[in-house]
Structure 1
Amino acid sequence: MGSYETEHPSENGSDLIAAAKHIVAALGTNKVLSKDEKAILVELRTLLNTMAAIVDVPETVEPSESVTDEASEIQLSLNTVSEKIMIRVSDESMIWDLGPEDTSDYLKAVEESRLLTEKLEDLCLDKDTEEVELLRKAHDVLQIAMERLEHEFEHIMVQNAQPFEPECLSFRSNEGDALVGSPISMDNDSIGESFHRDSVGKTLEDFILDLVHPDVIPDLKHIANLMFSSGYERECSQAYVNARRNALNRCLFILEVELLSIEDVLKMEWGSLDSQIKRWVWAIKKYVRVYLASEKRLSDDIFGDFSPVNSFCFIDASKGSVMQLLSFGDAVAVSSRQPEKLFRIIDMYEVLVEIHPDINSMYSNEAGDSVRSECYEVLRRLGDSVKATFLEFKNAIATNASTNPFTGGGVHHLTRYVMNYIRLLTDYKDTLNQILEDAEREESLSPSADSISSTDDWNQGESSPMASHFQSITSTLLRNLDEKSKLYKDPALQHFFLMNNIYYIAQKVKHSELRDIFGNEWIKRHNGKFQQQAMNYERATWSSILSLLKDDGLQNSGSNSNTKNVLKERLRSFYVAFEEVYKNQTGWLIKDPQLQEDLRISTSLKVIQAYRTFVGRHTNEISDKYIRYTADDLGNFILDLFSGSQKSLNNTHRK
């Protein structure tokens, strides 16, 4: 590097020094500068920067006899171009901020520098002369120009980046349910009913955003073309990647996607993880379908003429952020298999299935292999997690043990949980069938291996993997309920409990999307099962009591007096037994109003008819003073049964 002679050197250096000292002294005493003074100082600063830059210009090689005429002309042109370039490079102001005229002048100078370098390269072929030294100087000038273009390119990208506003993007959704997921235990009365499917939407509107202001795209493309044609494609690409990688990371921040490790996910409580999953499902779709798609277009707009580099720029800029998103999905896929996670995992699986073609398209070349591969692996692991969690759900039903009978013999929490759980899973019918397609071949999930129903159950309703597994789950549930019924000491309450729960199961199937899956024959069969339990309950409760109102044995009672005593004793025993039933069974609960009414009516018909017949037949043998209740009284008392609030008939005897 050497000095550069100015075109009009100072004839007296002492004059310049004296003037400089005068300026310094004036600045020391003058605290406030006028507008004109500020302007002249700015002009002075520019001149000083220019002169400093000229000093750093690669040393000029003076023409010599050994240099050809053509090389001499190139050298003179190179000196001129070099001066123009160094004046701009030395200025701290960004060239593209100065205006189109300065920008155009600089680009012309750089282009001329590139052309001069190419001419020298052709001239220096198979030569070892002073032209080679001139070529080295030309390369130095061109490198300096390229370094500045690289900074300018990145500066334009950053300064003209458009804000990303995800709240302005809309999704079309065919789903109407807003859902929440919360940690639920098998003993929670609201079990299963607190899960609903998120209305995350199934189709994203076509949105391509201008991530960088459209007005500067021609300038960026011009710079890229100039740098690429000068052999500086790597530097230009890196400037793009640096700018856009930071922008993509900011996008994830705006979408509120946290950077979580697998350890973070595994330690996270379900409530927090549930929120993170919902945010992830919402964010990844917008990120891929909107932001990445827009990023791909931006890369195409700038580097469209350089296909291999174009793909590299997009992939290198976006790969890290995509991998970050996928790593969260992977962490959830390998986490524990609680049943409450199943809905969220399916949500994640579905959104990955939806964006998988987009990922494959945008990362289609060899450089994108790792992204495509990771997306596929996360999708596969999420599918495995769905199957494993589904199996764990059935195992949880089978192993759900109780040490105490369920109060009141009503619908058990487990029954509500299971039936509401599988009803909500029907929203994911297509996805579940896809995931479980090969599950029927696995022994651990084979419905025929653990079904307590007849084999005909598997031939009813919809024929699909999900239908088979749902019926297997209800069979497992019925077995568990049968075991729970044995905790009751009262046989009538055992049947009452089973009646309540089987009725709930059958009604949940009948009046929901489960009907098509289970089929009408299954519903009829289980209606018959709950009706059988109702009959068993009535027999266990009332058979021995109503036998007191029969005339069996009265013929052998002897005298009329003995007959009256037997009748009075039987009537007294009936009242005692009825009052005991009333006391107990008012505390038993039937929550379904239709079932409650049907069982009360059925009980009334049997009890009141038998009582009215007995009293009417023996009205002459039994005095009114022994009649505690009328038939209407009994009917009213029966209306109190199954309300879940225990009552007593003490002190209610009719006077």
Structure 2
Amino acid sequence: MEKKCNAKSKNRKKGNAEVVDDQDESLLNIDHDQISIEIDNLMEQSSNDNEKSNSTRVPNTVDTFVRIIESKIKAYNALKSGSRFGNMMNDDEYFIEAIRRLSKLKVVLSENTSSFDNINKILQQAMLLMEEEFRALLLDLNASYEPIAKGATLESNNEDEFPGYSEENVNLMSKIALIMIDTGYKYECCQVYGTIRKDELMEQLKRYEFEKLNVEDVHKSKWASLEPDITRWVKLTNHCSNVLFPAEKKLGETIFSHHFSGVFINLIRDITTSLIEYANAVAMEKPKGKRLFKFIDMYEAIRSLRAVIEDSLSSDVEPDESSTLKSEISSAGDNIGEAVVNMFYDLKSNIQSDSNKTTVSGGGVHPLIRYVMNYIKCAVEEYQKTLEHIFRQYVKVGNEPISDVNNSSLSTQLLSVIDLLEANLETKSGLYKDLSLRYIFLMNNYRYILQVVKSTNEMKQLIGDNWCLRKSSDVRNYHKSYQRETWTKLLQWLTQEGVQVNGKPSRKRLKERFKNFNAMFDEIHKTQSGWVVSDDQLLSEIRVSISAVVSPAYRSFVGRYKPQFEGTKSIDKYIKYQPEDIESMIETLFEEDFKFFEFKRLYNKKKLECPRPGTLFYRLVQFLPPLFGFENFDRKPKTKAKPNSN
């Protein structure tokens, strides 16, 4: 780049030297500055007369001045476009000011004057020269045209290079644009700029496969193939808003000053229209809930695009031009925003119409609850402000749940979704015939909903602490119902009532009590060890509450009536579990590995022989001691690996 600039500089110096050589020799001895002063005096005199001079004769100074400009135009035209200005600043400044004087001179002179046609002709030649130089400078850029690698982040590519002009060239273009506009050639100047810069913008967008975003393909494509195109559209639109359009605006304002807004609108109109047409086509797609996030991305991209364009407009833009483009962008944003709302309604409709009668094994968290809660969690975490804006803008006030958080449309929508989930849960809980399992199912799912809300700061702030307290109370009530349905019934075999006959404990009745307790406890343990409590804190709370009820009652009952069986061979038959066993077995409830507990208990009590070496069961048990606290089996220690000699 440095070599290129040095070469250009040499060409300019050489070319500007030729400007002097090519001038008419009769003009070399003329004081150009004095001629300029005389022209200024002539224009001031004509201006004081408040009307054009009707004299057919003009001072010789005018003809001399025109010849000087004509001579310089010929000299500049002898040079290569793009290298005519820049190194002999005094000559360039004189030429530009001379063109400005010539333009003003044309205004004050009558068309009947002898020099008028010649002035007009030279002025046109000068503007043609300026236009060619302006075009050459616009085309002299170093912006990249290499395609962007697949998956690359658009905003990070080419940000420093675009628009790709040196500061020197920008300054020259600014001077040329200003003189062309002052001379009445604004249209020609803007047309050249708009044509070249529009082509450059399109070339930049082609690097990101902009041309592949075909509106006609939207309605033909399935969502799986349409989704990547939407992702590319979002990146392209954001790239225009964040990089291309701001850079183009900055360049244009530097070159055109306050004359640029109208040029900018014309420059970006076609690109913006293409982006908006694609968004409108996508908005017509069926509003399915799973498409929500892509549509919110589109809505945010459209809002950013509108903000950039509105920020770029000023009073010199025709109202129709700006209002039409803003109206098109707003309409597309409305279409996408309404689609987002409809997707939330689609989510609610799917929850309401869900009639799946398959129960979750062990009463765990239902897939629908897990999916929807994580769905709205992601939506709130990533798009809270945008969703709040959309719901305020496009949701009509209806019979929605009232939120604890005032003036939040998003919290209202979240509550309505959760209310539908809870209603769905109540229906699904009825599929469990076992009441205890039904309460476990409700506990798991209500707890899951509550924990998702509490673990997400945005959701907790939106829904409010009062809601969290109410749901915590609901979980506790299901917990109490489960305890009453399961363990309160078990405790009926441990009451003192009915044990004594004639004032003494009846061994027969005690045998029946212990026998029924063992049978019922075994059945509960066998059944509920296969159930699921997925939340660790809830699992701990349930086990603690069960132990607090069962363990003291059993310990007291055994301590009181165990002497009735001492000395008999049947003591282990009736007092099957020690109080410590009951406590340990409660700790294995709701675990998949509960079946190993009985093996551990019997083995440690020497009621079970060690498995024979070589059997599959023996190899399995080799790994149990570290996990379950078994006494070590006779096995060889692991051989330590030898250190690597290398």
- TM-score category of the 2 structures, normalised to the smaller one: 0.5 to 0.7
The match for 2:538 is 595
State whether structure 2 residue 341 is matched by structure 1 residue 398.
no
Name which of 458, 475, 479 aligns with 2:423: 479
1:639 Cα shift?
A: 1.0
Q: How does 1:249-288 map to 2 (within 5 A)?
A: 249-253=202-206, 259-265=212-218, 284-285=237-238, 287-288=240-241
Name which of 577, 581, 602 aligns with 1:633: 581
Measured in 2, the distance between the counterparts of 1:600 and 1:396 equals 36
The superposition leaves residues 349-396 of structure 1 with CA deviations (integer Å, 9 ceiling, x where unpaired) of 345445544322323432222221222222222322232222222223
Name which of 316, 339, 361 aligns with 2:266: 316
CA contact (8 A) 2:86 2:92 kept: no
1:438 Cα shift?
A: 6.1
CA contact (8 A) 1:415 1:501 kept: yes
Name which of 246, 262, 282 aligns with 1:293: 246
The match for 1:156 is 137
Amino acid at match of 1:317: L
Amino acid at match of 2:192: A
**CA distance change for structure 1 residues 571 and 79 in 2, over 3 Å: closer, same or farther?**
same
The match for 2:612 is none
1:402 Cα shift?
A: 2.4
Amino acid at match of 2:189: C
Under a length normalisation based on structure 2, what TM-score does the superposition of the two structures give?
0.68
State whether structure 2 residue 498 is matched by structure 1 residue 498.
no
The match for 1:185 is none
Measured in 2, the distance between the counterparts of 1:347 and 1:95 equals 43
The match for 1:55 is none
Structure 1, 152-161 or 340-349: larger mean CA deviation? 340-349
Amino acid at match of 2:392: E
Structure 1, 338-347 or 535-544: larger mean CA deviation? 338-347
State whether structure 2 residue 165 is matched by structure 1 residue 212.
yes
Name which of 382, 386, 404 aligns with 1:431: 386
Name which of 94, 98, 103 aligns with 2:81: 94
Measured in 1, the distance between the counterparts of 2:529 and 2:103 equals 104
1:480 Cα shift?
A: 0.9
The match for 2:482 is 537
1:103 Cα shift?
A: 12
Q: How does 1:120-135 map to 2 (within 5 A)?
A: 125=112, 135=117
Aligned partner of residue 595 in structure 2, secondary structure: coil
The match for 2:329 is 375
**CA distance change for structure 1 residues 109 and 481 in 2, over 3 Å: closer, same or farther?**
closer
Structure 1, 540-549 or 372-381: larger mean CA deviation? 540-549
Structure 1, 219-228 or 464-473: larger mean CA deviation? 219-228
1:159 Cα shift?
A: 0.4
Aligned partner of residue 432 in structure 2, secondary structure: coil
Measured in 2, the distance between the counterparts of 1:529 and 1:302 equals 68
1:407 Cα shift?
A: 1.6
1:319 Cα shift?
A: 1.7
Amino acid at match of 1:491: L
**CA distance change for structure 1 residues 110 and 94 in 2, over 3 Å: closer, same or farther?**
farther
Q: How does 1:72-471 map to 2 (within 5 A)?
A: 93-94=80-81, 96=83, 115=102, 125=112, 135=117, 146-147=127-128, 149-160=130-141, 212-225=165-178, 227-228=180-181, 232-253=185-206, 259-265=212-218, 284-285=237-238, 287-304=240-257, 307=259, 310-354=260-304, 356-364=306-314, 365=317, 366=319, 367-427=321-381, 428-437=383-392, 441-443=396-398, 446-448=399-401, 458=402, 460-471=404-415
Amino acid at match of 1:476: L
Name which structure has the greater RCO, CA cutoff 8 Å, separation 6+.
Answer: 1
Name which of 587, 591, 604 aligns with 1:643: 591
CA contact (8 A) 1:397 1:476 kept: yes
The match for 1:517 is 462
1:109 Cα shift?
A: 11
**CA distance change for structure 1 residues 441 and 119 in 2, over 3 Å: closer, same or farther?**
closer
Amino acid at match of 2:557: F
1:642 Cα shift?
A: 0.9
Measured in 1, the distance between the counterparts of 2:361 and 2:207 equals 51
**CA distance change for structure 1 residues 247 and 322 in 2, over 3 Å: closer, same or farther?**
same
1:542 Cα shift?
A: 2.9
CA contact (8 A) 2:144 2:161 kept: no
Measured in 2, the distance between the counterparts of 1:512 and 1:81 equals 74
Measured in 1, the distance between the counterparts of 2:395 and 2:262 equals 44
1:279 Cα shift?
A: 5.8
Amino acid at match of 1:467: S
**CA distance change for structure 1 residues 240 and 574 in 2, over 3 Å: closer, same or farther?**
same
The superposition leaves residues 22-52 of structure 1 with CA deviations (integer Å, 9 ceiling, x where unpaired) of xxxxxxxxxxxxxxxxxxxxxxxx9xxx9xx
**CA distance change for structure 1 residues 395 and 258 in 2, over 3 Å: closer, same or farther?**
farther
**CA distance change for structure 1 residues 650 and 573 in 2, over 3 Å: closer, same or farther?**
farther
Measured in 1, the distance between the counterparts of 2:413 and 2:487 equals 39
**CA distance change for structure 1 residues 517 and 273 in 2, over 3 Å: closer, same or farther?**
same
CA contact (8 A) 2:218 2:281 kept: yes
Structure 1, 294-303 or 493-502: larger mean CA deviation? 294-303
The superposition leaves residues 117-150 of structure 1 with CA deviations (integer Å, 9 ceiling, x where unpaired) of 986996654x9xxx89x95x98777666655543
The match for 2:551 is 608
CA contact (8 A) 1:564 1:621 kept: yes
Structure 1, 151-160 or 509-518: larger mean CA deviation? 509-518
1:255 Cα shift?
A: 6.2
1:560 Cα shift?
A: 9.5
Measured in 1, the distance between the counterparts of 2:245 and 2:182 equals 28
1:471 Cα shift?
A: 1.9
The match for 1:13 is none
Pairwise CA RMSD? 4.8
How many pairs were matched up? 533
Aligned partner of residue 392 in structure 2, secondary structure: coil
CA contact (8 A) 1:600 1:638 kept: yes
Measured in 1, the distance between the counterparts of 2:504 and 2:430 equals 46
1:250 Cα shift?
A: 3.1
**CA distance change for structure 1 residues 229 and 472 in 2, over 3 Å: closer, same or farther?**
closer
Q: How does 1:546-565 map to 2 (within 5 A)?
A: 546-550=491-495, 563-565=506-508
Amino acid at match of 2:471: H
Measured in 2, the distance between the counterparts of 1:222 and 1:459 equals 61
CA contact (8 A) 2:73 2:129 kept: no
**CA distance change for structure 1 residues 143 and 629 in 2, over 3 Å: closer, same or farther?**
same
Amino acid at match of 2:479: A
CA contact (8 A) 2:106 2:120 kept: no
1:247 Cα shift?
A: 1.9
Measured in 2, the distance between the counterparts of 1:391 and 1:460 equals 22
**CA distance change for structure 1 residues 619 and 235 in 2, over 3 Å: closer, same or farther?**
same
Measured in 1, the distance between the counterparts of 2:359 and 2:374 equals 22
1:99 Cα shift?
A: 7.6
The superposition leaves residues 225-258 of structure 1 with CA deviations (integer Å, 9 ceiling, x where unpaired) of 5545665443332211111112222333456756
